[in-house]
Amino acid sequence: EAYKDQGILAPGKDILGAKPGGGTDRLSGTSLATPIVSGVAAVLLSLQREQGETPDPHKIRQVLLQSALPCDPDLPEETRRCLAGRLNIPGAITLLKKGGNMAENLASVGASEVEAAGCGCDGGLTNASEAMADRGQPAPSLVAAAAKLGAAEAVPSNTPNLQNLMQSFPTTTQQQPMMPNITANSVTASQAPSELPDLGQIVYALGTLGYDFGSEARRDSFKQLMPPFDIGGGVMVPANPYDARQMVDYLGENISEARSLIWTLNIELTPVYAIDPTGPFGAESYRALHELLAGQIQPENDAEYVERVSIPGILTGRKVKLFSGQVIPVIEPQSTRGIYGWKVNSLVRAAMAAVQAEDGTADEDRIRNTLDGFLNRIYYDLRNLGITSQDRALNFSVTNAFQAAQTFSEAVAVGMELDSITVEKSPFCRMDSDCWDVKLKFFDPENSRRAKKIFRFTM
């Protein structure tokens, strides 16, 4: 009862909005209707300022209440839900722009000026006397209402809604148009946080980059667009879309065509994920994929050679069919952050430089071999899809080769070798984080009775 004359019904069903982590979603509830009313109130306040008035939220409240579309009294359930009426944006703007005494302006804001705004209205107009006659009620006169309240200088804080004000005045023969009875969209209670759609499974996977066409038509379109290839001696042959070198050259001049390919993350030549960058950083992500593909075609002894790539993303629940007929899940990188190409030759040299800066006596060959073994161990023996927290921590440990190299230098300096790599939940973790410890166990190959040494670093 406390809200009956002090609240209005606003659109709150299937409201489109942004969701955490990117993308959009449609939800229903009072929490979705509230920001709509708040936004309307803010616009009305700005209109007040444009008219040279001092912004008055209390006046805006009265405008929203008085301009609300009437409820249907024949539907008790709707009347209870509708409260003082339905949100009427055009009517509120018209009422505010007329200024002066608000009660007087109620008579001049006809139904033809206050069409329903986004509340599921059918947009038709009816005659007030006809509407009241159907309900067995007298048709009041808005003109009489304006004359009766003409001397009023302010609107009381407990101003009733438009329908109640009309019914409180004596009956006359004059007819004024009014808005029809409208069935509003039902509004459910706000969804609990546990019921909100989750952001999807996070993925951080390692592998090699590839691309696919999906169909013969798509492949042939690339073959037609790509320029002929010079095999040497001025001999030109038709373009081969399957040649990664030719594709890299073509995408370098036409990066927009990268979106037409199905980019894949492969483990041991088997595609496991389709990569579909979207959102505001989609273009940058495609450029990053192009650079990684260019690095993979370099000679293995080249400093720019990319042996492996890491791709972070979110499983979308969608799947895509490759040209071979294989169906694989789709992941969406949210940005270029975390998309790395592992230039192993440069990585080992940089890690060695960091170790020798702290310990000039470190054995370079032994540390290099141990670090190579660490990288290959994760690449091959511990390969995974990067879905679980443990797998993501293990895959990310490769990105921190500098930290691993410092660990290796301490163990290798005393003649120990890498034995095993394990991952366990970290006993300490900051709030809102998922922390895991990567444990590197070393042993002495020359003395099996010597105690093993374990190094731990947190991801």
Residues 246 and 313 in one domain: yes
How many whole angstroms from its chain centre is CA 23? 3
Residue pointed to by tokens 């592998």: 207
pLDDT confidence of residue 179:
41
Over residues 56-97, the pLDDT tens digits come to: 998 998 888 888 888 777 766 666 677 778 888 988 888 888
Final residue of a domain: which of 193, 214, 229? 193
What pLDDT score does 152 carry?
36
Statement: residue 424 has pLDDT above 70: yes
User: Quick check: 435 pLDDT over 50?
Assistant: yes
Confidence tier at 145 by pLDDT (50, 70, 90): very low
Query: Does residue 284 sit within a domain?
Result: yes
368 & 325 share domain: no
Please report the pLDDT score of residue 115 as a whole number.
41
Evaluate whether residue 280 is within a structural domain: yes
pLDDT at 302: 86
Q: Which residue has the higher pLDDT, 77 or 197?
A: 77
Indicate if the pLDDT at residue 122 is higher than 70. no
In this structure, are 69 and 164 located in the same domain? yes
Residues 188 and 205 reside in one and the same domain: no
Q: First CA to last CA across the chain, in angstroms?
A: 55
Average pLDDT for residues 229-244, to the nearest whole number?
A: 87
- Residues 371, 374, 376, 378, Cα dihedral to 10°: -150
| Whether residues 37 and 170 fall in one domain | yes
Same domain (yes/no): 149, 126: yes
Task: Let me know if residue 5 belongs to a domain.
Answer: no
For residues 444 and 360, state if they share a domain. Answer: yes
**Same domain (yes/no): 294, 413:** no
Q: How many domains does the chain have?
A: 3
- What is the model's pLDDT at position 359? 63
Quote the CA–CA distance of 233 and 256 in Å, as a whole number. 31
**HSE-CB of 226 using CA atoms within 13 angstroms:** 28
pLDDT more than 90, % of the chain: 24
Helix crossing, 89-98 with 57-66: angle to 10°?
Answer: 120
Cα(203)–Cα(391) distance, integer angstroms: 9
279: containing domain: 200-342
